[in-house]
Chain A
Amino acid sequence: MKKPLPILLLLSLLTGAWSDGEVRFKNAEKAVASKDYPSALSEFEAALTADPDNIQYGSEYRQAVIQAKEYDRCIKFFEKLVADHPNSPNAYLNYGFAYVDKIPAAGTITQVILANTALTYFTKSLELKPSWIAYYTRGNSYLYWPKIFGRAALGVADLEQAMKMQKADSQKRSYHVRAYISLGDGYWKTDQLDKARAIWKEGLGLFPDDIQLKARLSKEGDELKEYIDDVLDPNKRVDTNLQEIWTNK
């Protein structure tokens, strides 16, 4: 006798309320909640295969990967996903982030290789769709590079673009504060301290409770350098959870 399908799944299939991707995504979330990462990863991958450009699926998948420390599996999965779906900007974005996620687990030289590869895929995402998240992501990534590579100026250009986009947005979104922080860091890194302080102040006007902006504005000289160096330390894990993007639509 065939096993009966779970009622919820059956209902969703009958009504067409949930797509296959959604079902697999829900299964993945359940597996994460019970810390069953092998099942979670398989389900996330199935969800992404069904809906490759879903930014939320990709982001949640990567967070599970971080817990499971399955970085190479994740990179391999996205490699195939973008090959199968070459016009998916969010898939490329998450592919880039898959490399970023691996950085803290790598040696210093491998970190450079990973960071450089991530930039390639962030650029590809931008080429397909110039979005706020893509400009912010690539711009912020450039800031992690040592000064000698001169990439901070490229970061400033991207972050200014992200800033322009968010200023044109009629809605104030919580994640917009990130561009104020990073653009200021970019200005600081390109020795434009006045511009850095001005943009941080502007951000604080809009987000008066933001502790990161407050911290930067309360510091000067070596203390500020130490703070930003610490923030941009490649050995520390960068929060690559994109949850704010879909919760602040």
Chain B
Amino acid sequence: MSLSAFRKVGICALLLFAATGMRVVSGDSGGRFFEDITQKAGVAKKHTNRSFKNPYSNIMAGYTALGASVAVADYDGDGFEDLYVTDSKEDGKNHLYHNNGDLTFTDVAGEAGVAEGNDAENASADCLWFDYNNDGRPDLLVVRFGHNQLFENLGNGKFKDVTKEAGLYRYLNAITAVAFDYDHDGYVDLFIGNYFSPVNIFNPETPRFFPESFETANNGGGVTVFHNNGNGTFTEVSEKIGIKVSGWTLDLGHGDANNDGWDDLYVACDFGTDRFFVNNGNGTFTDKTETAIGFDTKKGMNSDWGDFDNDGLLDIYVTNITDDYMREGNFLWHNNGNLTFSDVARETGTYNTGWGWGAKFFDYDNDGWLDLYVVNGWVSAGNQDYVPDIFQMITKPGIDFADARNWPPMGNKSLSGYEKKKLFHNEGGQMFKDEAAHHGLDSIKDGRGIGVADLDNDGRMDLFVANANSEPYLYHNILPPGPHWAEFMLEGTKSNRFGVGAQLRVTAGGKTYLRFVNGGNGFASQSTYRVHFGLAKQDSIERLEIRWPSGARQVFEKLAADHIYKIVEGNSKTLPFIAKATKR
């Protein structure tokens, strides 16, 4: 659909929506759908930014207010999703919050062997669960400024550091990672986005390690791709497979843009243009940025994929910076179906989210339309504003931006701080309306990552928000009963074990919804591997079609709603979902 057609349909749909008052939860009298359970759930440990001890420490403090992240997975297979949460200070411990099954959590990172993610030469920036050895147990990658860590899940509540033997011990100032099987060999591969180039930012030998340009920098860390060899080791293949990025990467998002069965890649770059790579289906990618999205100069922060208008094509949401002094606006890339995208952020009301960070598509009210939660805010500190300082630097003739010594220290000043988060309710696939305040999700902390998961297996999606230099939030979804739902846990046999990249098409009430298994999309966060569908008034599913990464297709008919199903590739019957809480 062209952009103008999208706009016309949008107006019609909005009128229809307004006329019918088509809200699933009728009778809602202003009640909140979320409650803050951070304290009582036992997950309130604070994140602290890294302080550097080098000559540029007072400059770097502001620019590395990062590292608050969360990754969701059921690491012990008890049927309840657990949380891994990072800290960034030098002696800060990372947390493995084991889900006790009653919406309380116990931090078992120390005994599991995954707490030590920060030291003088490494700072945690992100985290990712992925099953690198296809043993059915999610393993853990701690993404770091410095050296990443890969922990093998031993299955007994313990993890083993296998970074070196896996071939992943390399100095990268990594900030994001996704894992998907780009070449369909049955093993997920690792795509790592790096912010700074691989200079030792803890003890830099040169002051010239800052971005050379605010818009078109080519001295960033880019993207490093590690091919999974299927024997517990990885080989770096970035250039070989056509992934060449030199910008300051902040996020990576994968999804199948043209429904050809091969996942494509969106690279969101802070300094430097965003990139779009099309998977050629032969183990290589082609950079199609120019034709797909055009060359931008905005500060790409997030890349999440989802079919927000239920047209059977995955769209992409990218946050940028929008403030009085920098009006970039976000991108909501509507997929035109021909490997081109049109930005409909203005038209849909998702354009302005301040200094945006993580953003996630999810259906919080089970009405069948993907909503969006967006966190924001750079540094919320003192009353003084850092903007004039930075602009004074910018307007100096002949300034060398790459030289850290030219950047003004931030001190206790704020920059795009104290910004309210946005919960965009999807109003029929054409417009979004901010409901954050209504549901108590409009915090003003400096949000970074959002983990979406059904933490109590009740079919309603909960949220964990990682905040920089602050306590996180755990929001329990308390949507009133009514709207139906279904969740699916996939197990690949020919495909990778967690079915990453599988597309699921559910038909209910004559409408078809597309969702997929994603391998860690969204800034500083990973949501559940389970695939959730809101079904609104439909209490049964007419048809479920799964397209596995192996190419296999399976169809299931007449499934009851309000269940969590387990599906094994090649098995014609769904399996019952079993959850057995284990308190620790």
Contacts of B395 in A (CB 8 A): 112-113, 116
Given contacts A146-B325, A234-B327, A235-B327, contact A110 B385 (CB under 8 A): no
Judged by a CB distance under 8 angstroms, whether B326 is at the interface is: yes
Contact partner, A109, options B324, B385, B388, B394, Cβ 8 Å: B394
Judged by a CB distance under 8 angstroms, whether B287 is at the interface is: no
B215 touches A110 (CB 8 A): yes
Distance in angstroms between the alpha carbons of A107 and B216 in the assembled complex:
9
Contacts of A112 in B (CB 8 A): 391, 394-395
Judged by a CB distance under 8 angstroms, whether A147 is at the interface is: yes
Judged by a CB distance under 8 angstroms, whether A238 is at the interface is: no
A107 touches B324 (CB 8 A): no
Interface code B263-291, partner A: CB below 8 Å = 1, 0 otherwise?
00000000000000000000000000000
A107 touches B327 (CB 8 A): no
Distance in angstroms between the alpha carbons of A106 and B328 in the assembled complex:
11
| Chain B residue at smallest Cβ distance from A105 | B297
B324 touches A110 (CB 8 A): no
Distance in angstroms between the alpha carbons of A90 and B108 in the assembled complex:
72
Given contacts A116-B395, A149-B388, A149-B391, contact A109 B327 (CB under 8 A): no
A233 touches B324 (CB 8 A): no
Besides the contacts A108-B298, A108-B328, A109-B214, what 17 more A-B pairs have beta carbons closer than 8 Å? A106-B215, A107-B216, A107-B298, A108-B215, A108-B321, A108-B326, A109-B215, A109-B326, A109-B394, A110-B214, A110-B215, A113-B394, A146-B325, A146-B387, A147-B324, A148-B324, A148-B385
Residues 82 to 134 of chain A near chain B (Cβ within 8 Å): 106-110, 112-113, 116
CB distance from A235 to the nearest CB of B (A): 6
Residues 314 to 330 of chain B near chain A (Cβ within 8 Å): 321, 324-328
Q: Can you list 19 residue pairs at the A/B interface with Cβ under 8 Å? A: A106-B215, A106-B297, A107-B297, A107-B298, A108-B214, A108-B326, A108-B327, A109-B214, A109-B215, A112-B395, A113-B395, A116-B395, A146-B324, A148-B325, A148-B387, A149-B388, A149-B391, A234-B327, A235-B327
Distance in angstroms between the alpha carbons of A112 and B388 in the assembled complex:
12
Contacts of B388 in A (CB 8 A): 148-149
Distance in angstroms between the alpha carbons of A95 and B58 in the assembled complex:
39
Contacts of A234 in B (CB 8 A): 327
Task: Give the B-binding residues of A (Cβ under 8 A).
Answer: 106-110, 112-113, 116, 146-149, 233-235
| Chain A residue at smallest Cβ distance from B214 | A109
CB distance from A99 to the nearest CB of B (A): 12
Contact partner, A233, options B321, B327, B394, Cβ 8 Å: B327
Distance in angstroms between the alpha carbons of A149 and B388 in the assembled complex:
7
Contacts of A235 in B (CB 8 A): 327
Interface code B369-402, partner A: CB below 8 Å = 1, 0 otherwise?
0000000000000000101100100110000000
| Chain A residue at smallest Cβ distance from B215 | A107
Contacts of B387 in A (CB 8 A): 146, 148-149
Contacts of B325 in A (CB 8 A): 146, 148
Interface majority SS (helix, strand, loop, mixed), chain A: helix
Contacts of A233 in B (CB 8 A): 327
Contacts of B215 in A (CB 8 A): 106-110
Contacts of A113 in B (CB 8 A): 394-395
Distance in angstroms between the alpha carbons of A164 and B425 in the assembled complex:
52
Contacts of A109 in B (CB 8 A): 214-215, 326, 394
Contacts of B214 in A (CB 8 A): 107-110
| Chain B residue at smallest Cβ distance from A116 | B395
CB distance from A123 to the nearest CB of B (A): 14
Distance in angstroms between the alpha carbons of A157 and B391 in the assembled complex:
23
Interface code B55-86, partner A: CB below 8 Å = 1, 0 otherwise?
00000000000000000000000000000000
Distance in angstroms between the alpha carbons of A146 and B390 in the assembled complex:
13
| Chain B residue at smallest Cβ distance from A109 | B214
CB distance from A152 to the nearest CB of B (A): 12
CB distance from A143 to the nearest CB of B (A): 13
Distance in angstroms between the alpha carbons of A108 and B328 in the assembled complex:
7
Contacts of A146 in B (CB 8 A): 324-325, 387
The 10 closest A-B pairs by CB, nearest first: A107-B297, A107-B215, A109-B214, A146-B325, A146-B324, A116-B395, A108-B326, A148-B387, A108-B328, A112-B394
Distance in angstroms between the alpha carbons of A113 and B213 in the assembled complex:
12
> Chain B CB within 10 Å — which of A108, A112, A148, A234 has the most?
A108
> Chain A CB within 10 Å — which of B214, B328, B388, B395 has the most?
B395
Distance in angstroms between the alpha carbons of A146 and B323 in the assembled complex:
9
CB distance from B215 to the nearest CB of A (A): 4
| Chain A residue at smallest Cβ distance from B296 | A107
Interface code B346-389, partner A: CB below 8 Å = 1, 0 otherwise?
00000000000000000000000000000000000000010110
Contacts of B298 in A (CB 8 A): 107-108
CB distance from A188 to the nearest CB of B (A): 15
| Chain B residue at smallest Cβ distance from A110 | B215
| Chain A residue at smallest Cβ distance from B321 | A108
CB distance from A10 to the nearest CB of B (A): 48
CB distance from B88 to the nearest CB of A (A): 27
Interface code B471-509, partner A: CB below 8 Å = 1, 0 otherwise?
000000000000000000000000000000000000000
CB distance from A135 to the nearest CB of B (A): 22
| Chain A residue at smallest Cβ distance from B399 | A113
